[in-house]
Chains A and B, each alone.
Chain A
Amino acid sequence: MFPVAVGLSVRDPWIADLVELRDRSAIDVLEVMIDDVICGAGVMERYRQLGARWPLIAHGVDLGIGNADGLDRRYVDAVAEATSRLRVRWYGDHLCFLAANGISLGHFAPVAADPETVERLTANGAVVAERITTPFILENPADVLGLGTDCPDAGVALGRSFGSAVTAAGAGALLDVTNLLYNARNDGFDAAAFIDALPLERVVQIHLAGGRNIGGLWIDSHDRPVEAESLALLRHALARTPNLRAVTIEWDENLPAFEVMLQQVARVRAVLEQQGRR
């Protein structure tokens, strides 16, 4: 098994802290939002500064790999250019569709792994592979709609479905254990069974975050520390993912002080050390 790097997903208010951080070894890797690089003036230069200090991973939210109408090739080309200039280790986005019939959702709508969807994922994945030279991985998104959960052994079925989709797209897997935990809580399936049903050799990265219960539904609000139950699922995954290379922590709302993120990283590192993955 490979040693696993631990880091965080960069947010603007922490960039100055990162640039000035004396003990670079407190973090192993940084995840950068590729959509910020594409859209934001001056972001590339700031991220290149960070890239001089740490290995970078790119993460995006605008690909829509499951879109029946195909991918926006100008967007794909922009990702290709940005990932190449930043020399990121790999690029991840979400298994979802984002637009259909002229409606732009701007949020992850779920896809199944039925034959027509698999065919579309294969075609869209080929476009990504043709234009983006960086390795590509797909994340299991949060799904409040609960697609595919109305069957026995839904954890196994959903894990297999995600695995089929990732394989069809020619991608590695980004396992978001917090999304998985909240989907499992909302729909009453076995999160560990989902992990066990994955093509585990494809899992390259794991995401962690903290969310909250709003009106009886668990939402990946990314505004709290990582829960102990997410760390328990992380432990489960660590014992089964031989090609895992990085675990990163996401926080988007009510951003804490940078020191809090360093504490979160240290907490995850301790889990990896206990599991012999560092």
Chain B
Amino acid sequence: MTLAARQGALARLLTDPTFEQRVRAEPEQVGRELGLTPQYMAWLARLDPARVAAFRASRQVKHRRRRGAG
């Protein structure tokens, strides 16, 4: 399991609600497809949905600030 694979999966989960749902529903299958360990997938699947939503909200604020800063 490479660092790039771990970061890629986390980045996708944080930006793609469909992928997030799939990770929560079938973490082992997603892990096999992406070459990630069951332990890492279990951590991803356990991430509190409210915290993932908070990350997305903060991300939106940062993007808005950046557009404002132009």
Chain A interface residues toward B at CB < 8 A = 12, 33, 35-36, 39-40, 61, 66-69, 97, 99-101, 103, 105-107, 109, 116-117, 120, 142, 144-146, 214-217, 219, 221, 252-253
- Interface residues in B16-70 by Cβ distance below 8 A to A read 47-48, 50-52, 54-55, 57-59, 61-63, 65-66, 69-70
B54 pairs with A219, CB closer than 8 A: yes
Given A99-B11, A100-B10, A106-B59, CB of A144 within 8 Å of CB of B66: no
- B51 contact from A36, A116, A144, Cβ within 8 A: A144
Given A36-B69, A144-B55, CB of A103 within 8 Å of CB of B3: no
A-B contact pairs, 24 of them (CB 8 A): A35-B69, A61-B62, A68-B4, A68-B6, A68-B7, A100-B10, A101-B4, A105-B15, A106-B59, A107-B58, A109-B10, A116-B3, A117-B3, A120-B3, A144-B51, A144-B54, A145-B55, A215-B50, A217-B51, A217-B54, A219-B58, A252-B65, A253-B61, A253-B65
Residues in B with CB closer than 8 Å to A101 are 4, 7-9, 11-12
Q: How many whole Å from A119's CB to the nearest CB in chain B?
A: 8
Extra inter-chain contacts (9) besides given A12-B69, A68-B6, A106-B62, CB under 8 Å: A68-B3, A97-B11, A100-B10, A101-B12, A103-B15, A105-B11, A107-B58, A109-B14, A109-B55
Residue of B nearest to A217 (CB): B54
Distance between Cα atoms of A35 and B62 in the complex (Å): 13
B4 pairs with A100, CB closer than 8 A: yes
Given A40-B70, A100-B10, A105-B59, CB of A216 within 8 Å of CB of B3: no
Distance between Cα atoms of A217 and B50 in the complex (Å): 9
Residues in A with CB closer than 8 Å to B61 are 221, 253
> Taking chain B's interface residues, is the majority helix, strand, or loop, or is none over half, making it mixed?
helix
Q: How many whole Å from B48's CB to the nearest CB in chain A?
A: 8
Residues in A with CB closer than 8 Å to B12 are 101, 103
Q: How many whole Å from A243's CB to the nearest CB in chain B?
A: 30
A105 pairs with B2, CB closer than 8 A: no
Residues in B with CB closer than 8 Å to A100 are 4, 7-8, 10-11
Distance between Cα atoms of A107 and B61 in the complex (Å): 10
B62 pairs with A107, CB closer than 8 A: yes
Distance between Cα atoms of A218 and B4 in the complex (Å): 29
B52 pairs with A145, CB closer than 8 A: yes
Q: How many whole Å from A40's CB to the nearest CB in chain B?
A: 7
6 smallest CB-CB distances across A and B, nearest first, come from: A101-B8, A100-B7, A107-B59, A68-B4, A103-B11, A68-B3
